């Protein structure tokens, strides 16, 4: 009985550590090398290569009652606005001139390689991303 109780306690403790597996030191292998200029909410700008969001080459968010997936290579610029502690609004300015609004999870991370090493930041802490090339 004691073993089961200890197992339950350990399982409970580790359930709250969902971000433990997030490796900040490695970039995922993607088909395209997306290059961006990222500005955080403090105004700090950084240029990044091999950019991914949640280790993927696309954004996935809510639009109305549905879900929309948008490839990063189709976007020209993204502006972020906080909606709550957990959610942000992303205004996507597409290369074809259209504009799409997505609701995203602010805890998702964008990662890329800066001139100084790997850079990682939560989307909730980003003001703007300009896609500058592939």
**What's the number of CA atoms in the CB half-sphere (13 Å) around residue 95?**
9
Give 7's pLDDT tier (boundaries 50, 70, 90).
very low
Q: What confidence tier does 35 reach under pLDDT thresholds 50, 70, 90?
A: very high
pLDDT of 21 reads 45
Report the C-alpha gap between 122 and 107 in whole angstroms: 5
Q: What is the pLDDT of residues 41-64, one digit of tens each?
A: 999 999 999 999 998 999 999 999
Question: Per-residue pLDDT tens for 85-121?
Answer: 899 999 999 999 999 999 999 999 999 999 999 999 9
Q: What are phi and psi of 12, to 5 degrees?
A: -65, -45
Q: What is the pLDDT of residue 31?
A: 79
Distance between CA atoms of residues 91 and 70, nearest Å? 12
pLDDT at 25: 66
Q: How many helices (H) and strands (E) would you count in the chain?
A: 1, 10
15: pLDDT strictly greater than 80: no
pTM, two decimals, is 0.79
What's the confidence (pLDDT) of residue 29?
A: 77
- Bigger pLDDT: 78 vs 5: 78
pLDDT at 16 over 50: no
């Amino acid at each position: 009985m004691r073993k089961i109780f200890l197992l339950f306690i350990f399982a409970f403790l580790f359930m709250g550590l969902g971000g433990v597996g997030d490796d900040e030191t490695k970039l995922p292998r993607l088909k395209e090398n997306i290059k961006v200029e990222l500005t955080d909410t403090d105004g700090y700008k950084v240029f990044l290569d091999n950019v991914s969001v949640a280790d993927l080459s696309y954004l996935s968010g809510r639009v109305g009652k549905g879900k929309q997936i948008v490839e990063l290579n189709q976007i020209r610029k993204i502006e972020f606005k906080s909606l709550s502690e957990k959610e942000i609004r992303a205004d996507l300015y597409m290369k074809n001139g259209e504009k799409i609004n997505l609701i995203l999870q602010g805890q998702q991370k964008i990662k890329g390689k800066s001139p100084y090493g790997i850079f990682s930041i939560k989307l909730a802490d980003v003001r703007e991303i300009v896609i500058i090339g592939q």
